[in-house]
Amino acid sequence: MLSRTAENLFWMARYMERAESTARLLTMGQRMAILPAATMRDEWRSVVRVTGCEDAFGKDAIIRESDIVEHLMLDPDNPASIRSCLARARQNGKSVRTALTQEMWESLNEGWRKLETYGVADARRDFAELVDWVKNRAMMFRGATESSHLRNEGHDFLRAGGALERAQMTLRLLDVKYYVLLPETEVVGGHRDHYQWTSVLHALSGSRAYHHVYGGSYSPWQITDFLMLNRQFPRSVLYCFDQLAYRLQRLAHWHGQRTPANLRGEEMVEALAQTSSGAIFEKGLHETIQSKIVQCNMLGQEIAEAYHFG
Amino acid sequence: MTFSEMLGDAGEIRDCYAVIQQWVEETGIEGLHRRLGEAEAIFRRIGITFAVYGEGGDPERLIPFDLLPRIFTAMEWQRLEAGIRQRAAALNAFLLDVYNRGEIIRAGIVPADIVYQNKAYKPEMAGFTPPGRVYSHIVGIDIVRTSLSDFMVLEDNCRTPSGVSYMLENREIMTRMFPELFALERVAPVDDYPSQLLKSLQEVAPPACKDKPQVVVLTPGAFNSAYYEHSYLADLMGVELVEPADLFVDEGLVYMKTTSGPRRVDVIYRRIDDDFLDPLAFRPDSMLGVPGLFNAYRGGGVTLCSAPGAGIADDKAVYVYVPEMIRFYLGETAILQNVPTWQCGLPDHYAYVMDHLPELVVKEVHGSGGYGMLIGPQASAEEVATYAERIRANPAEFIAQPTLDLSTSPTLGPSGLVQRHVDFRPYCLVGKEIRLVPGGLTRVALAEGSLVVNSSQGGGVKDTWVLR
């Protein structure tokens, strides 16, 4: 397979996943921000921070929902906006049309200009509908891939890209919770803290699954355990790492040769599988998340080197 | 009087259109519009688009599609096919000749100037004979009709004629939407085109190729207006679609960069202009291109389809000599006529053209796609005067032709069938043998009375049926 094709497939899946994750992030931010007496206004700033877009706003500026909608959903010049991600996923797909099935292309192509027609006010009004639309695009893309794409080398690059991006986004969503500090009058495990944690679960469509695993009660430790270490929940970090290692192993098989990426992928799985949520909180949730994000970035680079990306 | 494809001399429906007539009556105009809406939705979803540079507007617009097919009888096709094959053979013979012995020039048939001074002539190709002696592997010939029996060639396309994806997609849509029309099996199929194209490309593998030839399609990239077609053809042939940056040359052989390292490439169906193929051989400022590609080609390491410099055969100044070429190389009379053409570079032709501008169509010799044309009868006095200035400044750059009364074909209009002018582009494949599928692309000028059918100028497309 052409290196360029592999690279485009890898990034196409990443952008699609990123568009969806950003949509989920916006849902979470909105849920947190509508809490009564959300006076600190840190909710939206934390969202901006984890997307790496904080520089676009003043250090002390109050960030409102309309800013977020404009910047993270609609802005064609912000590479992290949902609109940019969808456009780039489509562009990646278009430049490797021959490596996609008709259904996959249609899922990228249909309605791709929808966000162009929206102004900020309308997008706020239709917020829930738009977020659902983005999620549906991503689901349709994955469904088309699942049911029509040849299980060849390209498929593994696609899935590896998706898994890498998803792991990073789950890590980032958890980090939002870290950034959103509790007011001094609140206690950890209190009403507000509880609501913030459940917002993370909700954004990851994990509420029901969480209950099946842990029963009716919420706790930060259990939620962290679920989102970081559960091997069955498809958005947990460890699940995504497992997927990554598996896809890299298949790629090594196709090429008859292991690469440094294989080793790192397996080490990432190993290290995470042997830890516990208790240990994570002891070391510091934020610190753990940051080091995992760094590992993901390094793995991304190693994959690019191993398979001669541009 | 304008010839209508659907009507005979006495105004009766021609037999070959009877099935269409019946179908239109049964479906009704409203029904046809509904089906057209469905067809357009399919096109849009599949993403068949045609971008036009520098015109603003929607960069991914659809080419308008007309539901009503243009139909040839078996007899008509027989003659067209013979004429097209003959022309493709003569054009390739001409290319072999002008890059080698130049006999047609020595015989005084074609003037040396219009060949050797031509921008499309590539001196780098002199003395080199491509594999199979083929220069133009896909010859697109634009044909118009002016009466029941008169078909004329408007233009030859020997470089990278586009539009064949529409021939295939139009048919695909038609069979999907109107299976009952095809159930009778009277319409000859065209879906064999990709495999014939692949066969033709494999047949011209270079001397260095010992195994099964590795064929690729070379595109400038996803921003090119014909990118959809490039990917579509690569897909249907089951070969890689590569961009210049995917290729490199090493010791006279061409490789593509793959995830498991370099892989040999034998035959390149390139959809990039000569000038941008290789910065070492042609334009040094080209950001596209594969350094060393041309040397690898001359050294027999790879085959380029079409050959660099093949454009000299489809040059508008050379066009007028094609009937002579057919006589000279094949010893035959041209089956398809040329349109009478005046070359403004010749003094007596120049005088005639300047006296008759309002009646003529004037084209730039190197222009393409309907740009930079003067259509005399439809131009204002100022437009004619401005154009006359351009011709005066550089006569040799222009040719003129009479405005032809192109045939019309029934086309679906807002409130019923209307008659619109059409032309036709078949795609002739040249490998070890010459191949032609029974069909091609019919383009239709959608504006009433307009003679401009180019897709870049707002023309539409139709399915073309050859009846058995």
B57 pLDDT exceeds 60? no
Interface of B with A in 38-57 (CB under 8 A): 45-47
Across the interface, of B45, B222, B259, the residue whose CB is closest to A255 is B259
Angstroms from A254 CA to nearest CA on chain B: 9
Search chain B and give the residue with CA nearest A253.
B260
Collect the ranges in chain A with pLDDT lower than 50: none
Across the interface, of A110, A251, A310, the residue whose CB is closest to B45 is A110
Of A175-184, A196-205, B83-92, B226-235, which one has max mean pLDDT? B83-92
pTM: 0.87
pLDDT tens per residue, range A127-173: 999 999 999 999 999 999 999 999 999 999 999 999 999 999 999 98
Mean pLDDT across chain B? 91
Contact B257 A2 (CB under 8 A): yes
Q: What is the pLDDT of residue B54?
A: 40
Contact B240 A4 (CB under 8 A): no
Q: What is the pLDDT of residue A41?
A: 58
Angstroms from A104 CA to nearest CA on chain B: 10
Search chain B and give the residue with CA nearest A93.
B222
Interface of A with B in 133-162 (CB under 8 A): 153, 157
Residue B457's pLDDT band, with cuts at 50, 70 and 90, is low
For residue A153, which residues of chain B lie inside 8 Å, CB to CB?
Answer: 259
Across the interface, of A2, A95, A102, the residue whose CB is closest to B258 is A2
What is the value of ipTM here, to two decimals? 0.80
Let me know the angle formed at the C-alpha of A128 by A64 and A195, rounded to the nearest 5 degrees.
70
Across the interface, of A96, A157, A255, the residue whose CB is closest to B260 is A255
Contact A2 B231 (CB under 8 A): no
Q: What is the pLDDT of residue B2?
A: 87
pLDDT tens per residue, range A42-52: 778 888 888 88
Contact B257 A95 (CB under 8 A): no
pLDDT tens per residue, range B421-435: 999 999 999 999 999
B53 pLDDT exceeds 80? no
> Which of A9, A97, A157 is most worth mutating to test chain B (most B CB atoms within 10 A of its CB)?
A97
Across the interface, of B46, B258, B261, the residue whose CB is closest to A102 is B46
Contact A1 B45 (CB under 8 A): no
Instruction: Please report, for chain A, the start and end positions of each structural domain, with discontinuous segments joined by +.
Output: 3-306
Across the interface, of A3, A96, A105, the residue whose CB is closest to B47 is A105
Q: What is the pLDDT of residue B287?
A: 76
Contact A2 B259 (CB under 8 A): yes
